[in-house]
Amino acid sequence: MSYYDIDSILTESELDIPDLGYLDNTPTQPLKTGAKVNLPLWLAEMLVIANTGDVEGKSFVTFDLPPALGNDVIQALKADPRAVPLRDQSPHFYGLGTHMMELSEEQELAAVLRKTFVTRASEVALHARKVGGVGHRGKGAEEGSNLGIGGAGEEFLRGLDEWERKLFRKAHDGAKSGKEWMEGVKKH
């Protein structure tokens, strides 16, 4: 999935590389030392992994975390995971996060992502159950409160990343088939 993720990592070159200038929009020049270029994740990942084979033991590229996993986002997630529309950061937020963690081994990032995922998952399940009118008959009061979720809920659902969308679909399918069965019992 993240193979197609155009979301790039900021990669910093440590060497002059001839003929690669086009990466920095200067096709005629060599790629300068210290130039920052955006590369697709799959390519940047390979470069960072290949670092170890360097001659002088010095890596020829260093990388920064993509803005989706930047400090602002992480702080916001720490404050309230549910309030951050992850999709605006990256459609493959968690996928990106796991790739980054493989490269950088940041303990804090892992903990924040885990908390975010788990907290948002229960919220996702709640919406999955309510969307499509799973609310039962004869519960007018509860229906009302569900409508209350509705407005904020749509916004939340728009902010789901791909993992969460998948999760939403699973939870929704479960709730839906449960409802169908419940109605089927009476006909049987």
Which spans of this chain sit near other proteins (rule: CB under 8 A)? 94, 97-98, 101-102, 105, 107, 110-111, 113-115, 117-119, 121-122, 125-126, 128-129, 136, 138-139, 142, 163, 166-167, 170-171, 173-175, 177-178, 180-182, 184-186, 188
3-state class (DSSP) for residue 41: helix
Kindly tell me which of 61 and 163 has the beta carbon lying closer to other proteins.
163
Query: Which three-class secondary structure state does DSSP give residue 12?
Result: strand
| Closer residue to other proteins (CB): 20 or 113 | 113
Cβ proximity to other proteins: between 23 and 101 the closer is 101
Distance CA 69, CA 102 (A): 14
From the CB of 117, what's the least distance to other proteins, in Å?
Answer: 5
Q: Which of 5, 3, 24 is nearest to 13 (CA)?
A: 24
Q: How far is the CB of 116 from other proteins (least distance, A)?
A: 9
Identity of the residue, 156 or 163, whose beta carbon is nearer to other proteins in the bound complex: 163
Indicate the DSSP class of residue 91.
T
Render the burial of 86-118: b for 16+ CB within 10 Å, e for the rest.
bbebbbbbbbbbebbeebeebeebeebbeebbe
Q: How far is the CB of 9 from other proteins (least distance, A)?
A: 16
Return the beta strands (E) in 136-186 as ranges.
none
Beta-bridge partner residues of 31: 17
Tell me which H or E stretch contains 13: strand 8-13
Whose Cβ is closer to other proteins: residue 37's or residue 156's?
156
Query: What is the C-alpha separation between 100 and 98, in angstroms, rounded?
Result: 5
Provide, for the chain, the percentages of residues in helix, strand and coil under a 3-state DSSP scheme, each rounded to the nearest 5: 65, 10, 25
Least distance (Å) from other proteins to the CB of residue 29?
A: 37
Q: At closest approach, how far in Å is the CB of 186 from other proteins? A: 5
| Closer residue to other proteins (CB): 133 or 138 | 138
**Nearest approach, Cβ of 36 to other proteins (angstroms)?**
25
